[in-house]
Structure 1
Amino acid sequence: MANFSKSNVPQFSVEVYQNEFLPEGGREVNAIVTVTSTGGGTSGGIPLTGAAASPSSIPNGSTNAAVVLMVDCSGSMDYPPTKMRNARDATAAAIDTLRDGTAFAVVSGTHVANEVYPGGGRLAVADATTRAQAKEALRRLGAGGGTAIGTWLRLADRLLHSESTASLGSGGIRHGILLTDGRNEHESPEDLRAALDACAGRFTCDARGVGTDWEVKEVTGIASALLGSADIVADPSGLAADFTQMMENAMGKEVADVALRLWTPVGVEIRFVKQVAPTVEELTGRRSEAGPRAGDYPTGSWGDESRDYHVCVQVPQASVGQEMLAARVSLIVPDPAGGTPQTLSQGLVRAVWTDDMAASTSINPQVAHYTGQAELAQVIQQGLDARKSGDIDGATAKLGRAVQLAAASGNDDTAKLLAKVVDVVDEATGTVRLKAKVAEADEMTLETRSTKTVRVKK
């Protein structure tokens, strides 16, 4: 395990958990790769509170970050009128949380995107004066018009790569925060997809749905494509606290564009690569080639935090007693000058063939746990889709399996959300009954948070 440290970035470490033993003829190798960065910004994404939350006391006076806040100002934000007020207050709270020196802008989103502050295709630099000006500009925000989220994202992208962010270079943190309360009705799904494809890898974005009139798959799809978080704020009065925490997490990011590089020897095939904690995120299809038998999988921006990845490869058949390197996993970051990427840390995945049945059939506890967590996310989605389409038996079976998996893995948060959608008869066997009446907010919360996982209990 290698480490990399430099004074202005976190220190990264890579740990590999696996059972490397295979029976004769065995070919599938699974490993959980834990990546941890320390010495960066926030402590593991834990929100700062009280005095620590004031912008002047957040660490690192200088910044390498730019943030664009995108606020839904479509007509539906006026129902009820408190929703728009809560959105303005939440955006103001986020602006208060900006670290001095951070470049920022505010965009209002309807069927078109407009610059609210500072305007002129540029970003302002956060200090007491610009924060006050931005909050004054927010007061003029009103609701009216449609919803075309792709236009908001494209404007955010232009701002985050404008002349005013040139000093960030290629390694700076570029981040968006997007709030919507409705469905993306004024552009086609293809237009939104094209915007996401154009923005992917250029900035990260957290997305929030407020109320219950928005489409979960749209909001989670935006966050997934742009490697950010997604959540529901069912009660608009909770927006300010949520926006403050999102901005604190953004301010804690210290290094951008980190990639997981997977090198495999001749004859080894990659089955899949996915993030499995803190959320399940499929990365297999996002590979970009990085030289002979090597590919990069994007992980986004990092502060002080730890994440887990599940790597599954297929190795050539071999006989008892043989061993091989099945994959080398490296964490890399681009060189701002365009030279060779820097390796932050690396770990090895091995394969050893044995005739010891006990060794070759035992499943590594980390692999077993995250295989269950990935299945949990999948059966919740399938169960809710079945419920919406009127397939009662299918929904009951899938959500029952979800209850069983949540209980077995200790995923208490998901278990509580499931209990609002089904009556649990026996969690050990996954015996449940669908509730006759379910609050829309409860169903949407379960769907939005279905990919959140818990880590293996030590």
Structure 2
Amino acid sequence: MPHPSFAVDIFQNEYLAVGAREVNAIVTVTASGAALPAQRQGTPAADSAVVLMIDCSGSMDYPATKLRAAREATAAAIDTLRDGVAFAVVAGTHEAREVFPGGGGLAVSSPATRGQAKESLRKLTASGGTAIGTWLTLADRLFRSRPQAGLRHAILLTDGKNEHETPEELERVLAEVSGRFTADCRGVGTKWEVKELRKIATALLGTADIVAEPDGLAEDFRAMTAGALNKAVADVRLRVWTPANAVVKYVKQVAPEVVDLTGRRSEAGPRAGDYPTGSWGEESRDYHVCVEVPAAAVGSEMLAARISLVLAGPDGSPEVLSQGLVRAVWTDDLASSTRISPQVAHYTGQAELAASIQEGLEAHRAGDLDRATAKLGAAVRIAHATGNDGTFKLLQKVVDVVDPKEGTVRFRSHVSAADSMTLETRSTKTVRVKK
């Protein structure tokens, strides 16, 4: 199957002052030009597999509209599947149970199997607790029953905290299944934990979001499933090579949202490391790469990093999809060395925006109103300055904005749990640099 063509663009100020060692660059990766699954209507989709994991713990019956909405959302996702896609439905409680097709495998999507799957949703009843690690383990086993499926995507819905297994147990499962499939996670209502769901989504290179009201689930599931099926290639990696005595300080995805990939590095030969980026369709993403290099004399130049997009070929050898270079040039010209790349400055601010929101809400929960106000005030200032209108509007539901330019705010006297959780969940979403 043809995959998209990839382009890498590097944005940086390569000039460093005497004694400076830190090199920052924004790497824009753009995938385009291939015949994507959505454009191959009527052709087999045997390379794709989807597992839907639905929380069926006892709390899904309070109110009863939650479980009913979950059934409707799952049916909407099933209807979105193209013929040929392998799929399954899992009911998750303190254990995981196959709802469809059963037998430890995946069904192949067709009008008949989609109808049977929707009929089986009557088996979704609410009882028991929540142990998400068991759901992920079963999903992994189901995916492995169909090794020919290169694109493997899960959708996970929960309404509560992961109370029936330890954090260490969940961590172990995430480490085990990471890299085998991607997963989009959704929390319905306001009784689940943002950090917990984000941890799962980050480990599995997917998204996390809130659906505050059950009646919003169906459209969200439909969109998630369509998005997953529009991916054309899986397991693309960002490879960073650095010269001797240089060190990668961090690698972060910064658009469309902030995801720290630094700890996900796997060694890829002498002085090179791979960072996972997951599955790609026709899209563009930005990454912030920070490298520390040895200081050099005025006039010296060096290659600070070589950035490559790589994909494992059929025989396991890496195929280089595209490449870009990060440079360092030492100068005693103050104007050159103090100029900040607009892209680097913008995304540094977007990362600070996400951190300010999360720290501000954490301080508010801890009763530290002064710190909470300062942090959310900083978030308002950054959101206003960078044109992140979506985040600015979410902030306005939590604080009264007195002066957006200065970041002067007051906490609202009554803030709903849904508004607070929506702000926290979506705090990592960024806007791109204005042209």
Q: TM-score range by the shorter chain?
A: over 0.9
Structure 1 residues 451 and 42, CA gap change in structure 2 (3 angstroms): farther
Q: In the aligned structure 2, how far is the partner of 1:63 from the partner of 1:32?
A: 36
**Letter of the aligned partner of 2:89 in structure 1?**
V
Q: In the aligned structure 2, how far is the partner of 1:24 from the partner of 1:378?
A: 31
Q: Give 2:6's aligned residue.
A: 12
1:272-421 paired onto structure 2 within 5 Å: 272-338=250-316, 340-421=317-398
Match of 1:64 among 47, 58, 62: 47
Residues 218-276 of structure 1: CA deviation (Å, up to 9, x unaligned) = 11111011000010000100000000000010001111111100000011111111000
SS where residue 114 of structure 1 aligns? strand
**Letter of the aligned partner of 1:320 in structure 2?**
V
Q: In the aligned structure 1, how far is the partner of 2:44 from the partner of 2:353?
A: 42
Q: In the aligned structure 2, how far is the partner of 1:373 from the partner of 1:288?
A: 26
**Letter of the aligned partner of 2:81 in structure 1?**
L
Q: Within the alignment, does 1:25 sit opposite 2:19 as a pair?
A: yes
Structure 1 position 167, deviation (Å): 2.2
Q: Give 2:164's aligned residue.
A: 186
Q: Is the 8 A contact 1:40 1:253 kept in 2?
A: no
Q: Within the alignment, does 1:139 sit opposite 2:139 as a pair?
A: no
Q: In the aligned structure 1, how far is the partner of 2:345 from the partner of 2:413?
A: 34
**Letter of the aligned partner of 2:364 in structure 1?**
R
Structure 1 position 166, deviation (Å): 2.3
SS where residue 148 of structure 2 aligns? helix
Q: In the aligned structure 1, how far is the partner of 2:252 from the partner of 2:270?
A: 22
Q: In the aligned structure 1, how far is the partner of 2:397 from the partner of 2:204?
A: 30
Q: Give 1:237's aligned residue.
A: 215
Q: In the aligned structure 2, how far is the partner of 1:379 from the partner of 1:286?
A: 24
Structure 1 position 124, deviation (Å): 0.4
Structure 1 position 288, deviation (Å): 0.4
Q: In the aligned structure 1, how far is the partner of 2:35 from the partner of 2:28?
A: 19
Q: In the aligned structure 1, how far is the partner of 2:273 from the partner of 2:82?
A: 35
Structure 1 position 41, deviation (Å): 6.5
Match of 2:91 among 108, 115, 134: 108
**Letter of the aligned partner of 1:203 in structure 2?**
F
Q: In the aligned structure 2, how far is the partner of 1:60 from the partner of 1:188?
A: 44
Q: In the aligned structure 2, how far is the partner of 1:139 from the partner of 1:349?
A: 56
Structure 1 position 381, deviation (Å): 0.5
Q: Give 2:147's aligned residue.
A: 166
Residues 169-201 of structure 1: CA deviation (Å, up to 9, x unaligned) = xxx111110000111111111111111111111
Q: Is the 8 A contact 1:41 1:304 kept in 2?
A: no
Q: Within the alignment, does 1:447 sit opposite 2:392 as a pair?
A: no
Q: Is the 8 A contact 2:46 2:148 kept in 1?
A: no
Q: Give 2:109's aligned residue.
A: 126
Q: Is the 8 A contact 2:55 2:157 kept in 1?
A: yes
Structure 1 position 140, deviation (Å): 2.2
Structure 1 position 40, deviation (Å): 4.4
Q: Is the 8 A contact 2:2 2:35 kept in 1?
A: no
Q: Give 1:92's aligned residue.
A: 75
Q: Is the 8 A contact 1:21 1:352 kept in 2?
A: yes
Q: In the aligned structure 1, how far is the partner of 2:72 from the partner of 2:127?
A: 18
Q: Is the 8 A contact 2:189 2:211 kept in 1?
A: yes
Structure 1 position 59, deviation (Å): 7.1
SS where residue 4 of structure 2 aligns? strand
After TM superposition, which residue ranges in structure 1, 4 or more long, deviate above 6 angstroms?
Answer: none
TM-score, with normalisation over the residues of structure 1? Answer: 0.93
1:42-61 paired onto structure 2 within 5 Å: 58=41, 60-61=43-44
Residues 409-433 of structure 1: CA deviation (Å, up to 9, x unaligned) = 0000000000111111101111111
Q: Within the alignment, does 1:259 sit opposite 2:237 as a pair?
A: yes
Q: Is the 8 A contact 2:137 2:173 kept in 1?
A: yes
Q: Is the 8 A contact 2:257 2:428 kept in 1?
A: yes
Q: Within the alignment, does 1:37 sit opposite 2:20 as a pair?
A: no
Q: In the aligned structure 2, how far is the partner of 1:41 from the partner of 1:418?
A: 40
Residues 72-129 of structure 1: CA deviation (Å, up to 9, x unaligned) = 0111111111111110000000011112111100000001000000011000011111
Residues 271-311 of structure 1: CA deviation (Å, up to 9, x unaligned) = 11100000100011110001100000010110111000000
Aligned residues: 435
Q: Is the 8 A contact 2:36 2:232 kept in 1?
A: no
Q: In the aligned structure 2, how far is the partner of 1:455 from the partner of 1:59?
A: 35
Q: In the aligned structure 2, how far is the partner of 1:374 from the partner of 1:211?
A: 27
Q: Is the 8 A contact 1:269 1:314 kept in 2?
A: yes
Q: Percent identity?
A: 67
Structure 1 position 60, deviation (Å): 4.7
SS where residue 166 of structure 1 aligns? coil
**Letter of the aligned partner of 1:424 in structure 2?**
V
Which structure 1 residue ranges, 5 or more long, are not aligned?
1-6
Q: Is the 8 A contact 1:41 1:252 kept in 2?
A: no
Which structure 2 residue ranges, 5 or more long, are not aligned?
none
**Letter of the aligned partner of 1:384 in structure 2?**
L
Q: In the aligned structure 1, how far is the partner of 2:382 from the partner of 2:245?
A: 35
Match of 2:204 among 222, 226, 242: 226
Q: In the aligned structure 2, how far is the partner of 1:192 from the partner of 1:85?
A: 28
